[in-house]
Amino acid sequence: MATSFRKYIESKVGNDFSQRFCDEVFTCSLPNLSAVPLTVPSSLGVGLESATRHPYIAVMRIDEDSNVWVANNETAAVPVGATFALSTSELIHGANPLVKYVVGGDILSFITDGTDVEISVAFYTLAGT
């Protein structure tokens, strides 16, 4: 059964000291410069499958001194060069989690220019909240 985002927010006082544990957590040790995909869950648990795409909040955390780029339904890419360019990837810096709205079936892509960067992605459901 997916953890409700409303319950996540209601339990959150600050500094993550009161955050509920999530039952939709995925972890990975990212290799250097190799994009790794993760498909957003498309169900809310046993017996709750549906043809609709369930909405989630994805909470993405990485090692404190690391950088990871993430893209939704695109392949993540590390920026190149010292000029601004349009990108489908967003930076996750280890000091703060990145929190994004996603739906079941979306494919998140992660890439790092570091080595063996640890990442966790927790999906909190918005369905029924």
Residue 51: pLDDT above 50? no
Q: How many domains does the chain fold into?
A: 1
Nearest 5°: CA angle at 104, between 12 and 74?
105
Structure tokens at 73: 């339904």
Range of the domain at 120: 5-125
Which pLDDT tens digit goes with each residue over 5-20? 655 555 544 555 556 7
SS3 state of residue 66: coil
Q: What is the per-residue pLDDT for 30?
A: 96
Task: Give the CATH number of the domain where residue 88 resides.
Answer: 2.60.120
Question: What's the pTM value of the predicted model, to 2 decimals?
Answer: 0.80
Q: What is the per-residue pLDDT for 22?
A: 85
Percentage with pLDDT > 70 across the chain: 74
Say what the alpha-carbon torsion angle 49, 52, 56, 58 is, to the nearest 10 degrees.
90
Q: Could you tell me whether strands 107-112 and 25-30 are parallel, antiparallel, or unpaired per DSSP bridges?
A: unpaired
Query: Rounded mean pLDDT of 65-81?
Result: 94
Structure tokens at 79: 């920026």
Say how far apart CA 50 and CA 62 lie, in whole Å: 31
